[in-house]
Copies of this chain bind each other. A is one copy, B any other.
C-alpha cells in the first residue's frame, strides 16, 4: 500500500463462496459493496434529482468524463467548485476515463500510443485524449474514483488487435499512475477481449501496479452473458482479493448476480434508467413493457411487493397512460421504480452474502431473468 497516495480504503466484511460484501471509504463517505452505481452521464442521472437518488438509497453515482469534457467543460465545473457542487450531489462520484465514449460517440477517431484523437460529436471540434489528459479532466471534476484511459476493443476483434490493445492499456495504466496529482482513488482496467490468455496477461500487468481497485472492461459489448461469465471465470482469480473489483457497464440482473458470484464488487449500467424512459420496468416478477394494451385498465402497481414511491402510489394503467402520452412524469416515475429495484437488489445481495445464503438469491434472480 506504500505506493498509493489516495485516501481510499476497502474492507471485506463477509464472504459466501467467491461472493464478497464489504465497504470502501472515499472523501465523500462510505459505500457498501456489492454496489450498483446509477449513471449520471451529463452531470445528472437522467430524470432523477439528487434528492430522489438519496431517497432511493443511492450511495455513489457514475458520471461520464467524455460528456462533461465536451459540455460544459471540466474547467467550468472546477471553477464552480467541482462536479459534486455543480450537480448538488455530496456523495461519492466515480468517473470513467472518457475513452469508451470517444470510441463509441465521437467521429474520425485515431488511436496511437500517445492517445485518442477524435472529433466532438457535438460540434466536430478536434480533440485529443491521452492518459494524462483523462486524469487531468477527472481531477478537475473532483472525482472520488478515477479510471485510467484504456482501449476498449470492439467485439469481435482479432487476437492481434486485442493483444496490441492490452499492451497499450498497460502502458497507459502506468502513465496514468505517474500523472496522478490528487488524492482521489485510481482504478486500473483489465482488457483482453474474449481471449482468456490475454485477459490473464492484462490482469497480471494491471494488478502489478499500485491501483486502488481493478476494473474489468471491454465486456457487455455484444459477446453475450455466457461468454462474459467465461471471461470472468478466468480473470477474477488473477485479481487481488483485497481490492475492489469493478465490472464496467454491466448489466442485467442476471449479469449482476452471476458476476457477484464470481467476486465482483461494483457495477454501473444505463439499463435501469434508459429502460425506464423507454417504458420497461424491472420487477421481482419479471420485466414489464408498460405500453402493452394488457395494462390499459390494470389498477395494480408494477409490483405489489415493491416499496418505491411509484408502486405505492400509481397503477400500471396510469403509468401506461403517461408513457403513451409522452409525459415527463412517466420517465420520472419509471426511473424511480427501476433504480429502486436495482438498489434493493444490491442490498438484498449484500444481506444474502453476510448471511451465507447468496446462492438462493442468485437462483431466484436467474429464474426470473433468464436473459
Contact = CB atoms under 8 A, between A and B. Distances in A.
How large, as a class, is the contact surface on chain A? Answer: 35 or more
A80 B329 contact: no
Interface of A: 42-44, 46-51, 71-72, 76, 79-81, 86-88, 296-297, 299, 309, 313-315, 317-318, 321-322, 324-325, 327-329, 331-333
A49 B297 contact: no
Contacts of A80: 297, 299, 315, 317-318
A332 B72 CA distance: 20
Contact of A332 (B71, B325, B328): B328
A329 B79 contact: no
Contact of A71 (B44, B51, B72, B325): B325
- The winner among A43, A50, A314, A321 for most chain B CB atoms within 10 A is A321
A77 B49 CA distance: 30
A72 B328 contact: no
A272 to B, nearest CB: 15
A315 B86 contact: yes
Nearest to A89: B313
A309 B86 contact: no
A260 B143 CA distance: 51
A88 B46 contact: no
13 contacts: A44-B322, A44-B327, A48-B329, A49-B309, A49-B332, A49-B333, A72-B324, A76-B296, A80-B299, A81-B299, A87-B318, A328-B332, A332-B332
A79 B44 contact: no
Contact of A86 (B44, B71, B76, B317): B317
Contacts of A71: 321, 324-325
Nearest to A70: B325
A328 B331 contact: yes
A333 B79 CA distance: 22
A142 to B, nearest CB: 14
Contacts of A325: 42, 71
Contact of A43 (B48, B86, B321, B333): B321
A49 B317 contact: no
Contacts of A49: 309, 329, 332-333
A314 B42 contact: no
A325 B327 CA distance: 19
A120 B296 CA distance: 20
B88 A332 contact: no
B322 A72 contact: no
A87 B80 CA distance: 39
A51 B313 CA distance: 10
